Amino acid sequence: MKTINFVAGITLSLLASHFEGRGAVVITVQEVGNDVVASASGELNTTSLTDGGIAGGTSGNIFGSQSQVYVGPTTQVDFFTGLAGPFGWGTGAISLASTSSGSFVGIWGAGQTLYLPHGYVSGSAISASSTFSGKSIASLGITPGSYTYSWGSGANIDHVTISVVAVPEIPETLAVAGGMCLITAWLNRRHASRRTSSVSEISGKSLGP
């Protein structure tokens, strides 16, 4: 069942990435097996943002009640203001990532703040991942949905979209129905095989000496 969820989640993520357009960053948060994986990719135009300077060392985490998702390993980051987006799509306490890799990108929804690696050059590629072992979307206290933080205008418009993916399990009734169909098909094939065998035996006897 988790495999079905994973494949569907990947599909939704790819579709989201396609429609976000070139220049944006998409952060996808989804369950993979018994863990939650947050992955980010894209590039950002920061021309219209205000660079607030160095924010110190920051690591991958999810803080539901702050509408906060940071993706990537512990690193020194710069913070940017001037973006606008939703707040209030989570209730959970802060949860630190078990493992992280890549560069870094983070959104603090409550403070309308973007975090990028120290010295980030506008338009540079961003690719990062953080895994939260033994967690689920529910236990992290975040609400499934798509949340966009945007800024700028004209040629300098850009945005970060956080996509919290929750793919529903296949209903038990459908799972049972599918199982019954497989059993019925197997029984029909077995019955047909027996009928064919019986006809062969009768034909053999009739043609005997």
The count of residues in the chain is: 209
Closest CA to 26 of 164, 165, 166, 161: 161
Residue 56: band (very low, low, confident or very high) from pLDDT cuts 50, 70, 90: confident
Are residue 189 and residue 153 in the same domain, yes or no? Answer: no
Q: Please state the domain count of the chain.
A: 2
Q: What is the mean pLDDT of residues 130-152?
A: 98
pLDDT tens digits, 91-103: 999 999 999 999 9
Are residue 105 and residue 204 in the same domain, yes or no? Answer: no
Residue 182: domain span: 171-209
Are residue 39 and residue 93 in the same domain, yes or no? Answer: yes
Beta strand 61-63 pairing with 35-43: unpaired
User: In the predicted model, what is the mean pLDDT of the chain?
Assistant: 83
Closest CA to 58 of 128, 109, 117, 120: 117
Stated as kind and residue range, the H or E segment containing 201 is helix 172-206
Residue 186: band (very low, low, confident or very high) from pLDDT cuts 50, 70, 90: low
Are residue 124 and residue 204 in the same domain, yes or no? Answer: no
pLDDT tens digits, 156-182: 999 999 999 986 555 555 455 555 666
Are residue 10 and residue 72 in the same domain, yes or no? Answer: yes
pLDDT tens digits, 25-44: 999 999 999 999 999 999 99
Which DSSP category does 60 fall into?
A: -
Are residue 105 and residue 191 in the same domain, yes or no? Answer: no
Are residue 151 and residue 182 in the same domain, yes or no? Answer: no
What pLDDT was estimated at residue 57? 87
Stated as kind and residue range, the H or E segment containing 80 is strand 75-81
Q: How many Å apart are CA 63 and CA 91, to the nearest integer?
A: 8
Are residue 86 and residue 41 in the same domain, yes or no? Answer: yes
Are residue 99 and residue 126 in the same domain, yes or no? Answer: yes
pLDDT tens digits, 111-129: 999 999 999 999 999 999 9
Beta strand 68-71 pairing with 105-108: antiparallel
Are residue 85 and residue 148 in the same domain, yes or no? Answer: yes
The mean-pLDDT minimum among 2-11, 58-67, 80-89, 112-121 falls in: 2-11
pTM of the model: 0.72
Are residue 128 and residue 142 in the same domain, yes or no? Answer: yes
